[in-house]
Amino acid sequence: MARKGKAVICREWNKPVSVEEVEVESPRRGEVMVRIKACGVCHSDLSGTNGTIPLPPPSVLGHEAAGVVEEVGEGVQRVAVGDHVIIIWIPMCGKCRYCAEGRPALCDASAKAAITLPDGTTRYKDSSDNPLNQFAGVGVMSEYATVHEDNVLPIDPDIPLDKAALVGCAVMTGVGAALNTARVQAGSTAVVFGAGGIGLNAIQGCALAGAQKVIAVDLEDKKLAFAQQFGATHTINPRVDGDPVAKIQELTGGGADYAFECIGVPEVIGQAYASVGKGGTCVVVGVTRPEGSVTLGTFMMPFQEKVLTGSMYGSARPSVDFPRLLALYQSHRLKLDELVTATYPIDDVQRAFDDMQSGANARGVLLM
């Protein structure tokens, strides 16, 4: 049965978002409707409102959510009505080359369904009966959302849904960049550029892996204070401390073993690459504007054997990683409670976006 509820909509780039009543269609074959209970406000949603991530409006925003299954379509096997689920913002088909290789974050299906369900259509309509896109293939900043069953993972109902939601993007992306993509070694040194929601989780991923030094770089002292809470052993504010690369080389005796760029600024990607020493690994997590580019000196490349790689969704394998991350939370080794520094009703979403931009929050979460 179709449902009506409030949803956060981007009507036009560089304009405030709106909260509107939408109609959410019943799940079709292989789909599920989720009653969303909590949705994190991620920098990628903001990037969706200003064209940095050029997914066309009008769309229902949101991709970091958890909720309760309300209705299932024909043939659904993964979940049943009443199950608690985390939204996975990449549909992982399980059949393509990358899924078969155990790298479902690179699934071929994801590029095909960036603003719709995998069949190319959407389940939202506005009050004038016009279809609305589903941001990142899910669009879950909404009281109800219909998504493909490949986009949900059932979890232990004891876990609070406002914390579980964060595992669906920020935690998976940041901790995964450290543990899955870079495979940070115990005793190593790491630097994380940008201490927002993703960066804080890259920091806690490095700390979990046993890095001896975790250096956080950010222009905001407030964010550097959060960074220390999540395991940073050293902080650098380039406004005060000057060139971060020189400082990192000094702190690490010639360059870090790992660097994570969690902002999406080409110049900072260059700094991150320069910050790692011989044999080190530089991981690009931040999403730049489509035209972004960076120039790297090539002469030293063979002599240094540095690795430069991207990290998509923390190289997530949700059915392996989400239960692991939640178990680490339950044993008090992964900080999720500390991550949620403010909650908002859906009507206050613009304030949540403003607070994210001012750096007031580790993470702000909408509660439905």
Residues in contact with Zn ion by CB under 5 A are 42, 44, 93, 96, 99, 107, 169
Between 44 and 188, name the residue whose CB sits nearer to Zn ion: 44
Q: What is the DSSP string of 256-320?
A: EEEEEE-S--HHHHHHHHHHEEEEEEEEE-SPPPTT-------TTHHHH--EEEE-SGGG--HHH
Between 44 and 122, name the residue whose CB sits nearer to Zn ion: 44
Q: Which two tokens stand for residue 205?
A: 């991923």
Where does residue 86 fall: left (phi above 0), alpha (psi -120 to 50 degrees), or beta otherwise?
beta
DSSP 25: P
Q: How far is the CB of 98 from Zn ion (least distance, A)?
A: 6
Q: How far is the CB of 158 from Zn ion (least distance, A)?
A: 25
Q: How far is the CB of 172 from Zn ion (least distance, A)?
A: 9
Angle at 143 between CA 106 and CA 110, to 5 degrees: 10
Residues in the chain: 368
Q: How far is the CB of 284 from Zn ion (least distance, A)?
A: 15
First to last CA, the chain: 20
Q: How far is the CB of 99 from Zn ion (least distance, A)?
A: 3
What whole-number distance in Å separates Cα of residue 351 and Cα of residue 58?
Answer: 20
Between 166 and 191, name the residue whose CB sits nearer to Zn ion: 166
What whole-number distance in Å separates Cα of residue 134 and Cα of residue 122?
Answer: 7
Between 109 and 236, name the residue whose CB sits nearer to Zn ion: 109
Between 42 and 340, name the residue whose CB sits nearer to Zn ion: 42
Angle at 260 between CA 255 and CA 266, to 5 degrees: 100
* Amino acid sitting at position 128: S
Between 107 and 336, name the residue whose CB sits nearer to Zn ion: 107
What whole-number distance in Å separates Cα of residue 183 and Cα of residue 239?
Answer: 31
* Amino acid sitting at position 361: N
Q: How far is the CB of 7 from Zn ion (least distance, A)?
A: 17
Between 194 and 244, name the residue whose CB sits nearer to Zn ion: 194
Between 193 and 273, name the residue whose CB sits nearer to Zn ion: 193
Q: How far is the CB of 168 from Zn ion (least distance, A)?
A: 8
Q: How far is the CB of 135 from Zn ion (least distance, A)?
A: 10
Residue 362 main-chain phi, psi, to 5 deg: -70, -55
Alpha-carbon separation of residue 83 from 70, 161, 298, 321 (angstroms):
8, 12, 52, 19
What whole-number distance in Å separates Cα of residue 44 and Cα of residue 63?
Answer: 9
